[in-house]
Amino acid sequence: MRKADIDEKGRLFSMFCSHKHVFRFCRAKVQPCEFCGKSHYKVMCPEICINENSKNPRQEEKVENENGRDPTLSNATPTRKVLLQTLVVCLRGGNKMKHIRVLIDSGSSKSYLTNFAIKEMRYECIAEEKLTHSLFGGKETAETHKIYLIYLSDFSDKYRCNFEVLNQEIICSGIPRIPRGNFIKEIKKHKIFLSDLNSQVDLLYQFSPDEIHGLIGADVLGKLYTEET
């Protein structure tokens, strides 16, 4: 709402007075503004518009959060680096023993080993299985995999097990090793050992030590967590 009418000469006229005359000559008694205390109606107060335009967006966000709305956590993390669940395990077969990096993926119903690692360990195919892979975005692909029985132990060779895996040419692109930082000391306090942190181990890889040659899915993950053989 405008606070006054403007004629062709730019003069201001009161909107709430019955006699049309210049605004500054109006003698009508007006109650003081409840907002600023000056002699005009509250709806005409210019201070209201100033305050509304100068509201801090962060203050509005705070009010919304206090009213029970969930605040976004997209910028809550102090770093952009995300550490994936990678391990260094020992593959065994015959007289051979090789260390490889594997990725834990509970979203996969099957476990996999790359063709390169299978060839190096000379594992033999025990069966075949045709699967339909449901990928991110809803895309589905049918593929026939060979099944292998592999023998695996942890980094310290205190736990051993065997399970079936499917062959796969490439599991994923290279994943960097866990970097060293202050958080390592905190992890060691809780007696947690990170096998993928050790840079001294001789890894089996084709082109780069960042390669992932095994994927442990939900079909095997429970066995490893409970250390069943």
Q: What is the pLDDT of residue 151?
A: 95
- pLDDT the model gives residue 149: 97
In whole angstroms, how far apart are CA 35 and each of 31, 32, 166?
Answer: 12, 9, 74
User: What's the pLDDT score for residue 63?
Assistant: 45
What is the per-residue pLDDT for 1? 45
- What is the pLDDT, as a whole number, of residue 191? 85
pLDDT value at position 108?
92
Give the integer Cα–Cα distance in Å for 14 and 25.
9
Question: CA–CA separation, 137 vs 145, rounded Å?
Answer: 22
- The strand pairing partners of 90, in sequence order, are 99, 153
Structure tokens at 74: 């997209």
pLDDT for 90: 94
Supply the pLDDT for residue 158. 87
CB atoms within 10 A of CB 223: 14
pLDDT score of 53: 55
Backbone dihedral angles phi then psi of residue 113, each to the nearest 5 degrees: -140, 140
Can you give the pLDDT at residue 192? 84
Distances (CA, A) of 225 to 104, 156, 175, 216, 229: 11, 16, 23, 11, 11
The SS3 call for residue 190 is coil
The two tokens of residue 154 are: 């942890």
- Identify the bridge partners of residue 100 per DSSP, sorted by sequence position: 89
Q: Which residue ranges in the chain fall short of pLDDT 50?
A: 1-4, 6, 8-10, 60, 63, 71, 73-75
The pLDDT, as a whole number, for residue 54 is 55
| Pair 11, 2: CB distance under 8 Å | no
pLDDT at 42: 67
13's enclosing H/E stretch is strand 12-14
